[in-house]
């Protein structure tokens, strides 16, 4: 690797905002030697070319809401900050499509879209997160029940490769099967395959009316029955959530005329003292409290086992996906045991558990990713995109470099 | 490993295939290896019949282990292989190799598991799309992807092509309805790719890769709740422009219909000739709009749709009172492709996509193209998502007519690209459109996509020659790697 001063000069020649890293900018404690904030795709490509030429290990950074997810990078010579790459490129409302640069905050995008009665149907569990970070971490919230995760909504992606080459896949039409869908591949790739610089999404109309129907449940069995009643009914819920310690909440969206009847039907299906309201219940769309966050894949029939194993700091979505929190100060062996127990019970349902973030002592004690099917194939794909192992090395599954 | 180029030259090909056929016969047993030339001929094309190649060998495995065994034998012999489901594809994606093996999944037709509480089913790749729905309909569920060929196409083929259908406007494509695939990789390993597992979303790129990344042997599909109600109307307009205005108004009003389909005068004429669909006489365009969902929701929106159609100039609106009437409305649309056979000796079915808002300009340009060339074009489209299926008509007995039709068909794709669209919305690239890929993507784009292929299939034996116009040499490593870098002492280059 070249000296920092030389690298800084070379980067400054291609990018208007380059500086040495600060100690507080460490990625899980790994301090970046340099930080570059390109303001255009050209600048981003220039930065990546320089990084390639100088052999710099690169970690992308968006809104810093999930920079503490995953494992610390094995090296971090250069943090590529996308905050200046934040333009709205095109919103063709008649086509229900929007293109934005990676650094655009999700909330700002939502505001722009709402002006024309549209939305990107992805929740933002962590305020301040960006378009690029949302894709890189495959982040989603309650709406995933109906709309899925970023993989379902990204229709075009522009990336800068490890060698600085700009590449696009997909396009700006929703229906398109020309070529490989790299958009889906990059969802949840944690900055290890390339730098995401622009994305195009399909949009949906903002519903005219919304209602939440909630019911307090007593124990895993009741939670399961309430969830099953709604999932198999034709009320067409936008979201079905379990929110620990004991609430099932259903989001309905649509036209005002239809909504009240659907809400009453849903209340009947949930049973108990189900309530209908115009505001989300406490905890809606947030990760459970704690300093350790475990992401679980748990199909609907796994819900009782999940709740029986995980305790109270749990949220779960009808899409078969949830989160478990562990309080600050939990001893590492408690985390190890919980993770093992979750993998045991969820494995029987073809589910699994992955640690997203944790304090250092817990992180060092656990196997964060658990078993990863097809890991060898993943390594081969990674080697193609990043033959020199410079993109977020060590951050992702199996310590992939 | 034997080089592909050697096989293409024909040198020693027969003996290689002969030996391979014997090995495969030992491996599979029974009547699972076909080498008889007459029987091989029945596999020479898929739904796109103008591309034909008689496969060297056809195998009919009945398990993942057998598929993996066949792939390993092919790799050992350096012979290319192609997977085929029902052979209904429209881009030649399952076009066999004369120097290779065609792996047909028609004996893998078991529905392995139906899991209603988890809203999913596990099926083998040869299972027919509609059979999934038939198996779960009584439980109130169905398999949402509905390509026109759903009565005969296979789920494995749907996975390869990321199939859509008329209703993908609301419900999405196959990629959104597949939760996991068991895959035989190009090196003969059996792996599980899942949408929600740890690590890369390899499933996301596998679905729609047109069989170039491996062969799926088991598919976990998502089942969708049958909607409480379905409402369908047919609206007749004097012109395509008026119909287009109605589409824009419906989408602009925040309605997400299950389907919006449009047909122009020529395709209506063909449908009338073929199936007597009795669409309103004198219509320059008909629009079919279908809404589904909870009753109160659909009732409110359906009234809006009807009003918006009238406002846009619909001179007649028919509302289906029941399933039989709904079937009647759909009959003309569903028969449209085959029906043009009634008004033209031959035709090309094109598949292009444009942003919905570009519909009027693009249709005007297609009209102009048709007028200039004297080649008739009938238009059928999934109007809601801008997916055009122009049917380019010609007389194959007339010298030069096929070439002229091909030219118009290609010019339509150029129009799609020019307006920011795509060269294929649902039929795939296959062999048919590989040459158009460089018009839509740069060399770097295609090169990057092929990095995935090199990761999966460095030997390049898995369905080679499809999707990409020129293969990437997988030994090539992109970018600056070793040796002195270009900055050495001259950073001022930047």
- ipTM score of complex: 0.97
Per-residue pLDDT reduced to its tens digit, B437-475: 999 999 999 999 999 999 999 999 999 999 999 888 786
Q: How do strand A247-254 and strand A239-243 relate by DSSP bridges?
A: antiparallel
| Contact between A167 and B492 using a beta-carbon 8 Å cutoff | no
| Contact between A185 and B205 using a beta-carbon 8 Å cutoff | yes
Cβ contacts of B485 on chain A, cutoff 8 Å:
53-55
Phi/psi zone of residue B327: left (φ > 0), alpha (ψ -120 to 50 degrees), beta?
A: alpha
Q: Which CATH class is domain B111-225?
A: alpha beta
Q: Residue A204, SS3?
A: strand
pLDDT at position B6: 37
| Contact between B487 and A177 using a beta-carbon 8 Å cutoff | no
Cβ contacts of A255 on chain B, cutoff 8 Å:
297, 300-301
Q: Which CATH class is domain A88-205?
A: alpha beta
C-alpha span between B183 and A377 (Å, rounded): 11
In chain A, CATH 3.30.43.10 sits at 4-83+386-399
Distance from CA of B409 to the nearest CA of A (A): 17
Average pLDDT taken over every residue of chain B: 91
Distances (CA, A) of A14 to A32, A365, A390: 19, 42, 19
Mean pLDDT of the region B21-49: 94
Specify whether domain B4-104 bears CATH 3.30.43.10.
Answer: yes
The closest CB to that of B196, out of A152, A232, A321, belongs to: A321
C-alpha span between A77 and A73 (Å, rounded): 10
* A33 and A21 Cβ atoms separated by less than 8 Å: yes
How many CB pairs below 8 A link A and B? 299
Q: Which CATH class is domain A4-83+386-399?
A: alpha beta
Distances (CA, A) of B271 to B328, B343, B345: 12, 9, 15
The closest CB to that of B227, out of A10, A14, A234, belongs to: A234
In chain A, CATH 3.30.465.10 sits at 88-205
Distance from CA of B234 to the nearest CA of A (A): 22
Nearest to A321 by CA among B118, B207, B220: B118
- Pull the structure tokens for residue A378: 């993943």
pLDDT at position A3: 63
**Angle formed at CA B474 by CA B468 and CA B480, multiple of 5 degrees:** 110
pLDDT at position B338: 84
Nearest to A259 by CA among A311, A317, A207, A181: A207
* B54 and B40 Cβ atoms separated by less than 8 Å: yes
Q: B468-474, long-range: CB within 8 Å, 24+ apart, which pairs?
A: B468/B434, B468/B437, B469/B434, B469/B435, B469/B437, B469/B438, B470/B446, B472/B446, B472/B447, B474/A384
Compare all CA atoms of chain B with the CA of A260 and give the residue at the minimum distance. Answer: B296
Tokens 């030069």, residue? Answer: B400
In chain B, CATH 3.30.70.2190 sits at 227-339
The closest CB to that of A10, out of B168, B192, B491, belongs to: B491
pLDDT at position B474: 82
pLDDT at position B478: 43
**Angle formed at CA A155 by CA A154 and CA A157, multiple of 5 degrees:** 80
pTM of the model as a whole: 0.95
The closest CB to that of B494, out of A46, A255, A381, belongs to: A46
**What is the enclosing helix (H) or strand (E) of A222?**
helix A220-231
Distances (CA, A) of B126 to A43, A227, B64, B155, B424: 49, 33, 12, 6, 24
pLDDT at position A398: 85
Mutation to test the B interface, candidates A10, A93, A143, A177, most B Cβ within 10 Å: A177
Answer whether A390 touches B (CB < 8 Å): no
Residue B206 has pLDDT above 60, yes or no: yes
Cβ contacts of A382 on chain B, cutoff 8 Å:
200, 455
Compare all CA atoms of chain B with the CA of A48 and give the residue at the minimum distance. Answer: B479
| Contact between B227 and A236 using a beta-carbon 8 Å cutoff | yes
Note the Cα B189 to chain centre separation in Å: 26
CA atoms within 13 A on the CB side of A185: 32
CATH number of B227-339: 3.30.70.2190
pLDDT at position A2: 46
Answer whether B185 touches A (CB < 8 Å): yes
Per-residue pLDDT reduced to its tens digit, B164-204: 988 999 999 999 999 999 999 999 999 999 998 999 999 99
Residue B483 has pLDDT above 70, yes or no: no
| Contact between B175 and A46 using a beta-carbon 8 Å cutoff | no
Give B 422-481 residues with CB within 8 A of chain A. 422-429, 433, 437, 440-442, 444-449, 451-456, 458, 467, 474, 477-481
pLDDT at position B341: 87
The closest CB to that of B296, out of A167, A258, A397, belongs to: A258
pLDDT at position B113: 98
* A165 and B479 Cβ atoms separated by less than 8 Å: yes
| Contact between A168 and B478 using a beta-carbon 8 Å cutoff | no
| Contact between A13 and B492 using a beta-carbon 8 Å cutoff | yes
The set of residues, in sequence order, having a beta carbon less than 8 Å from that of B473 and lying 6+ positions away, is none
Kindly give the parts of chain A with pLDDT less than 50: 1-2
CATH topology assigned to domain B344-432: Alpha-Beta Plaits (3.30.70)
Give A 288-327 residues with CB within 8 A of chain B. 297, 299-301, 320-321
C-alpha span between B381 and B287 (Å, rounded): 10
Tokens 């001893």, residue? Answer: A331
Residue B482 has pLDDT above 70, yes or no: no
| Contact between B479 and A138 using a beta-carbon 8 Å cutoff | no
The closest CB to that of B209, out of A180, A228, A372, belongs to: A180
Q: Residue A299, SS3?
A: coil
Tokens 């059996």, residue? Answer: B190
Nearest to B24 by CA among B126, B97, B101: B101
CATH number of A209-277: 3.30.70.980
In chain B, CATH 3.30.70.2740 sits at 344-432
Specify whether domain A292-365 bears CATH 3.30.70.
Answer: yes
Cβ contacts of B184 on chain A, cutoff 8 Å:
none
The set of residues, in sequence order, having a beta carbon less than 8 Å from that of B211 and lying 6+ positions away, is B82, B83, B93, B94, B160, B462, B463, B466
Give A 142-161 residues with CB within 8 A of chain B. 148, 151-152, 159, 161
Per-residue pLDDT reduced to its tens digit, B6-16: 334 334 458 99
Residue B299 has pLDDT above 80, yes or no: yes
pLDDT at position B30: 84
Distance from CA of B225 to the nearest CA of A (A): 7
Q: Residue B58, SS3?
A: strand
- Pull the structure tokens for residue B291: 């809404």
C-alpha span between B330 and B61 (Å, rounded): 37
* A192 and A106 Cβ atoms separated by less than 8 Å: no
Give B 33-92 residues with CB within 8 A of chain A. none
**What is the enclosing helix (H) or strand (E) of B359?**
helix B359-373
Give B 306-365 residues with CB within 8 A of chain A. 353-357
Mean pLDDT of the region B52-74: 97
Residue B126 has pLDDT above 70, yes or no: yes
Answer whether A114 touches B (CB < 8 Å): no
The closest CB to that of A185, out of B200, B353, B425, belongs to: B200
pLDDT at position B486: 36
> Sign (positive/negative) of CA torsion B333, B339, B343, B344?
positive
Q: What is the DSSP string of A321-344?
A: EEEEEE-TT--HHHHHHHHHHHHH
pLDDT at position B472: 82
C-alpha span between B134 and B448 (Å, rounded): 40
Please, what's the b/e burial string for A257-282 (b: 16 or more CB within 10 A of its CB; e: otherwise)?
A: ebbeebbebbbebbeeebebeeebbe
C-alpha span between A316 and A303 (Å, rounded): 8
| Contact between B196 and A167 using a beta-carbon 8 Å cutoff | no
Please, what's the b/e burial string for A361-373 (b: 16 or more CB within 10 A of its CB; e: otherwise)?
A: ebbebbebbbebb
Mean pLDDT of the region B358-384: 93
Q: What is the DSSP string of B252-280?
A: HTT---SEEEEEEHHHHHHHHHHH---PP
* A388 and A366 Cβ atoms separated by less than 8 Å: no
């Amino acid at each position: 690797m070249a000296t920092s001063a030389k690298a800084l000069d070379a980067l400054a020649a291609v990018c208007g905002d380059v500086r040495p890293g600060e100690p507080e900018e460490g990625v899980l404690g790994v301090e970046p030697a340099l930080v570059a904030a390109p303001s255009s795709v050209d600048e981003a490509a220039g930065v990546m070319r320089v990084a390639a030429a100088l052999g710099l290990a690169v970690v992308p950074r968006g809104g810093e809401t999930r920079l503490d997810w995953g494992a610390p990078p094995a090296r971090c010579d250069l943090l590529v900050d996308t905050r200046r790459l934040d333009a709205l490129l095109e919103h063709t409302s008649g086509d229900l499509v929007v293109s934005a640069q990676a650094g655009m905050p999700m909330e700002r995008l939502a505001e722009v879209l709402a002006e024309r009665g549209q939305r990107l149907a992805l929740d933002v569990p962590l305020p301040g997160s960006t378009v690029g970070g949302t894709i890189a971490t495959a982040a989603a919230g309650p709406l995933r029940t109906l709309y899925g995760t970023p993989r379902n909504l990204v229709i075009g992606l522009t990336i800068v490769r490890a060698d600085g080459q700009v590449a696009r896949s997909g396009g700006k039409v929703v229906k398109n099967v020309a070529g490989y869908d790299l958009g889906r591949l990059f969802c949840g790739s944690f900055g290890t395959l390339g730098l995401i610089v622009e994305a195009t999404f399909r949009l949906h109309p903002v519903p005219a009316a919304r209602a939440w129907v909630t019911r307090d449940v007593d124990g895993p069995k009741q939670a399961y029955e309430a969830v099953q009643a709604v999932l198999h009914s034709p009320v067409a819920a936008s979201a079905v959530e379990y929110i620990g310690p004991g609430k099932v909440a259903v989001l309905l969206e649509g036209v005002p005329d239809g909504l009240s009847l659907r809400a009453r039907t849903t209340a009947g299906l949930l049973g108990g003292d189900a309530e209908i309201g115009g505001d989300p219940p406490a905890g809606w769309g947030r990760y459970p409290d704690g300093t350790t966050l475990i992401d679980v894949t748990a199909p609907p029939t796994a819900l009782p086992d999940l709740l029986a194993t995980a305790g109270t700091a749990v949220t779960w979505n009808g899409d078969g996906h949830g989160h478990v929190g562990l309080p600050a100060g939990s001893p590492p062996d408690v985390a190890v045991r919980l993770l093992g127990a979750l993998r045991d019970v969820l494995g029987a349902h073809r589910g699994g558990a992955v640690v997203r973030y944790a304090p250092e002592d817990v992180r060092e004690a656990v196997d964060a990713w658990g078993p990863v099917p097809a890991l060898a194939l993943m390594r081969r794909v990674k080697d193609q995109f990043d033959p020199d192992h410079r993109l977020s090395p060590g951050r992702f599954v199996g310590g992939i470099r | 490993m034997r080089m592909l180029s050697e096989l293409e030259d024909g040198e020693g090909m027969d003996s290689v295939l002969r030996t391979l056929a014997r090995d495969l016969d030992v491996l599979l047993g029974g009547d699972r290896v076909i080498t008889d030339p007459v029987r091989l001929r029945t596999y020479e094309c898929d739904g796109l019949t103008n591309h034909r190649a008689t496969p060297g060998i056809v195998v009919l495995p009945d398990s993942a282990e057998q598929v993996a065994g066949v792939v390993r034998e092919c790799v050992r012999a350096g012979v290319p292989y192609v997977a085929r489901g029902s052979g209904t594809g429209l881009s030649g994606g399952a076009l066999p190799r004369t120097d290779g093996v065609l792996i047909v999944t028609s004996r893998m037709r078991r529905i392995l598991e139906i899991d209603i509480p988890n809203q999913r089913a596990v099926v083998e790749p040869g299972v027919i799309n509609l059979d999934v729905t038939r198996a779960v309909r009584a439980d109130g569920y169905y398999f949402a992807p509905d390509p026109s060929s759903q009565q005969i196409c296979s789920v494995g083929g749907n996975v390869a092509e990321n199939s859509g259908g008329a209703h993908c406007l609301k419900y999405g494509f196959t990629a959104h309805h597949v939760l996991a695939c068991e895959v035989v990789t190009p090196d003969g390993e059996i792996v599980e790719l899942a949408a929600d597992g740890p690590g890369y979303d390899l499933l996301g790129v596998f679905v729609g890769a047109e069989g170039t990344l491996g062969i799926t042997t088991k598919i976990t599909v998502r089942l969708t709740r049958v909607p409480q109600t379905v409402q369908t109307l047919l609206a007749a307009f004097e012109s395509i422009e008026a119909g287009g205005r109605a589409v824009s108004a419906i989408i602009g009003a925040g309605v997400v219909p299950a389907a919006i389909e449009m047909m122009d005068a020529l395709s209506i004429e063909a449908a009338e000739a073929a199936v007597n669909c009795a669409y309103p006489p004198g219509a320059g365009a008909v629009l079919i709009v279908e809404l589904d969902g909870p009753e109160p929701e659909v009732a409110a929106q359906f009234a809006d749709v009807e009003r918006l159609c009238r406002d846009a100039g619909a001179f007649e609106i028919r509302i289906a009172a029941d399933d039989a009437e709904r079937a009647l409305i759909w009959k003309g649309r569903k028969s449209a492709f085959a029906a043009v056979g009634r008004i033209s000796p031959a035709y090309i079915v094109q598949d292009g996509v444009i942003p919905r808002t570009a519909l009027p300009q693009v249709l005007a340009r297609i009209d102009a193209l048709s007028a200039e060339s004297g080649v008739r074009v009938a238009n059928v489209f999934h109007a809601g998502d801008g997916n055009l299926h122009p049917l380019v008509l010609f007389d194959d007995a007339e010298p030069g007519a096929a070439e002229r039709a091909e030219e118009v068909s290609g010019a339509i794709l150029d129009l799609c690209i020019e307006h920011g669209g795509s060269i294929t919305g649902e039929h795939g690239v296959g062999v048919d459109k590989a040459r158009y890929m460089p018009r839509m993507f740069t060399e770097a784009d295609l090169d990057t996509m092929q990095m995935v292929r090199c990761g999966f299939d460095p030997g390049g034996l898995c369905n080679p020659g499809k999707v990409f116009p020129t293969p990437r040499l997988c030994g090539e490593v992109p970018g600056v790697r070793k040796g002195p870098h270009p900055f050495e002492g001259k950073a001022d280059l930047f």
